Structure 1
Amino acid sequence: MTTTSGLRLGVIGAGTIAEFHMAAARQSAGRVNVVAVCDVRAEAAEKLAAEAGARVHTDHRAMLDAGGLDAVVITVPHALHAPITHDAAAAGLHVLVEKPIATTREDALGMIEACRAAGVVLAVGHVLRFVPTLRAAAAYLASGELGGVVVASERRTADYADPARPRWFLDADMAGGGIVLNVGTHSIDKLQMLVGSPIAEVTAHVAVPAGKAVETEAVALARHADGTRSTINVTGTGLPFTDEAEIVCGQGAVRISRGDGVWSFRAGAATQVAAPEPGEMARAFAAQLNDFARACAERTPPEVTPEYALSVLDVALAIYQSARLGSTVTVKGHP
């Protein structure tokens, strides 16, 4: 249950993303209080828990058995999302699990059913949905001021050679895949958000470097349910950081980038729709956690539902399937 003193939250996984969730809880004005932290690495759990005065565990089952929780945030290797979600649901706890929801469709459906049967909220951390500039871009495009979307592109880079990255990112079993499942799911989500239509079909190629178990490069041509075409390009091999989407409409175009914000281009004139804001990702995590707390208190769906997260996973899995087959693949759930 949610107490009058706020949502009592346990954090499972004490990595970098968990730090964002901890900061979000501190900004919640008491709506969310982290009371327990769990990580198989005791030192990491202790360090993260210290700032909140939270108790420390090295086994998530022990944390759940100890009680005193209303909900958990799960920030662990992708393959562990499903079993830990099942354990949390069985304990009657609401769940906010990091994206991707799972590594297989079967696991995702099992998580959704387990939480439904237990009567608990399941939210998925597609945090880009809460980034202020992206929300502004989506609203501007949806207004129809530039006409309907014609084509769209999304490009992201990440350094998959960075020794600071957790080793499980390069473990095919733990990660479920490489840059497509880790970074590409952000691109899929962003395109679906900006185009305003789910991706229904993909033609894709991925590349696995010699000596590695997961792909670091991927390109895909996507057809959205409304007929719009878009491209996804994610790379993990040494290029300078890029996070940019371009949406071409009937009467102009929009460019969205991490550094420059949102710009509209129409009839030879450029207009800034939204400027980049300092600490946007921190603000997005805070908004996401507040939405989760609201959903838990009201027992209503979160903004990012597990069914939507499943749609993102389905596209990622279709990209892998298309790359294996060398052909176009229809995304699950689409005719």
Structure 2
Amino acid sequence: MTQVRLGLIGSGGMARHHLNVLQGVSEATIVAITEPSEEQRAHTLERFPHLQEVPFFDDHRAMLEQVEMDGVIIVTPHTLHFQQAMDALDRGLHVMIEKPMVCTVEHARVLVQRFKETGKIGLVAYQRHYIPTYRYVYEGIRRGEIGELHFVQAINLQRWYRMTRGSWRQDPALSGGGQLNDTGSHLVDFLLWIADAPATKVSAFMQYFDVPVDINSALAFEYANGAIGNLSIIGSTTVGWHEEITVVGSEATYLIRQDQLEICDAQGNRFRPENLPAGSQPVINFVNAILGREEVQSTPEDGLKVIAFTEAAWQSAKAGGTPVPVQW
């Protein structure tokens, strides 16, 4: 195979980001798009006029039946991911899924097993696996740069409550949950990905205000190696976007502020690292994995770990913060 034929399921804002990246990937071609919204179709064609001849479908099943392709990219409301991915795998296709992979541990286990049974490429679009700053932290922990991992902390402030009001993101039937399952999913993934041990239990407190999904979340958790952490996802803020991550080791500390990395060594010296790893994009990795050129960097197993942690946090919040085991 030298050319990868891709179908797109959903063509909203994040899908258009992937389409933009694919314009620089000569080995990939979009051959069909599922998008029931005429408004989103118009936005997509306005930005990417070269797709004028690509067929659009209202339903992904019709697209899978009528168009020959090698893989699909799923960028739809969260609770739709599971069935769309299963349908694509049943057609023998490779599958890339926007985060979160799915919205229940049960679905995640089934999907991970189905990827194993079919041997098809599965990728969850957790982009921090591909961003140089975050890859540096992942690799630095593994080469022992900060010594023994002691503590991790992350906070995200986003005007999510106001920004998503009235949208599917605040409808649990489509979103599967609130901001922890949306923006927060990226930070959950990062904190689980960088550690050399799984999270074992989590305690959570959440605020919902006047909507049926979580808006603010304050979590404390523990890893199997004894390291501890906390995570705050705050959607009621007036701040458009602010994020901070701290990773404390016995010999050094990583400080990430608004995507910028600083290291504090054992003598208290603070500096910015040189020679960050090369960056990429999930969709580039997806195409290269299909072509046999690269291993998948953000796997369905990562997606399973994230929803297991998230589901445990939801259960803990319902129980008034009682710690709940993370079981995946």
Using the size of structure 1 for normalisation, the TM-score is 0.89
In the alignment, the residues of structure 2 paired with residue 200 and residue 223 of structure 1 have an alpha-carbon distance, to the nearest angstrom, of 6
The worse-fitting range, judged by mean Cα deviation, of 83-92 and 164-173 is 164-173
2:110 is matched with 110
In the alignment, the residues of structure 2 paired with residue 52 and residue 61 of structure 1 have an alpha-carbon distance, to the nearest angstrom, of 24
1:205 is matched with 205
Contact kept? 2:32, 2:67, Cα under 8 Å: no
2:141 is matched with 141
State the 1:56 CA deviation.
1.7
Using the size of structure 2 for normalisation, the TM-score is 0.90
In the alignment, the residues of structure 2 paired with residue 27 and residue 189 of structure 1 have an alpha-carbon distance, to the nearest angstrom, of 27
Task: Decide whether aligned partners of structure 1 residues 8 and 139 sit closer, same or farther in structure 2, where only a CA change above 3 A counts.
Answer: same
The DSSP-based 3-state class of the residue aligned with 2:144 is: coil
2:301 is matched with 307
Task: Decide whether aligned partners of structure 1 residues 161 and 323 sit closer, same or farther in structure 2, where only a CA change above 3 A counts.
Answer: closer
2:324 is matched with 329
State the 1:40 CA deviation.
1.1
Contact kept? 1:121, 1:299, Cα under 8 Å: no
In the alignment, the residues of structure 2 paired with residue 163 and residue 107 of structure 1 have an alpha-carbon distance, to the nearest angstrom, of 29
In the alignment, the residues of structure 2 paired with residue 299 and residue 108 of structure 1 have an alpha-carbon distance, to the nearest angstrom, of 26
Task: Decide whether aligned partners of structure 1 residues 40 and 93 sit closer, same or farther in structure 2, where only a CA change above 3 A counts.
Answer: same
Pairs within 5 Å for 1:1-335: 3-4=1-2, 6-28=3-25, 30-49=26-45, 50-53=48-51, 54-163=54-163, 167-209=167-209, 211-240=210-239, 241-259=241-259, 261-266=260-265, 267-273=267-273, 284-285=280-281, 288-298=282-292, 302-326=296-320, 327-333=322-328
Deviations 1:209-265 (A, max 9, x none): 1x2111100011110121100100110012422121111111231101225x11011
State the 1:123 CA deviation.
1.5
> Between Structure 1 and Structure 2, how many residues are aligned?
321
Contact kept? 1:7, 1:293, Cα under 8 Å: yes
The DSSP-based 3-state class of the residue aligned with 2:283 is: helix
The DSSP-based 3-state class of the residue aligned with 2:64 is: helix
State the 1:112 CA deviation.
2.6
State the 1:275 CA deviation.
9.4
- 1:51 alignment partner AA: P
Q: What stretches of structure 2 of length at least 5 have no aligned partner?
A: none
The DSSP-based 3-state class of the residue aligned with 1:138 is: helix
**Identical pairs, percent:** 25
Runs ≥4 in structure 1, deviation > 6 angstroms? none
In the alignment, the residues of structure 2 paired with residue 137 and residue 307 of structure 1 have an alpha-carbon distance, to the nearest angstrom, of 20
Contact kept? 2:31, 2:67, Cα under 8 Å: no
State the 1:113 CA deviation.
3.3
Task: Decide whether aligned partners of structure 1 residues 164 and 284 sit closer, same or farther in structure 2, where only a CA change above 3 A counts.
Answer: farther
In the alignment, the residues of structure 2 paired with residue 239 and residue 47 of structure 1 have an alpha-carbon distance, to the nearest angstrom, of 28
Task: Decide whether aligned partners of structure 1 residues 47 and 276 sit closer, same or farther in structure 2, where only a CA change above 3 A counts.
Answer: farther
State the 1:276 CA deviation.
9.8
Q: What stretches of structure 1 of length at least 5 have no aligned partner?
A: none
Contact kept? 1:45, 1:58, Cα under 8 Å: no
Contact kept? 2:193, 2:302, Cα under 8 Å: no
State the 1:163 CA deviation.
4.2
In the alignment, the residues of structure 2 paired with residue 16 and residue 165 of structure 1 have an alpha-carbon distance, to the nearest angstrom, of 17
Contact kept? 1:199, 1:315, Cα under 8 Å: yes
- 2:64 alignment partner AA: L
Contact kept? 1:121, 1:296, Cα under 8 Å: yes
In the alignment, the residues of structure 2 paired with residue 10 and residue 245 of structure 1 have an alpha-carbon distance, to the nearest angstrom, of 36
The DSSP-based 3-state class of the residue aligned with 1:298 is: coil
State the 1:12 CA deviation.
0.7
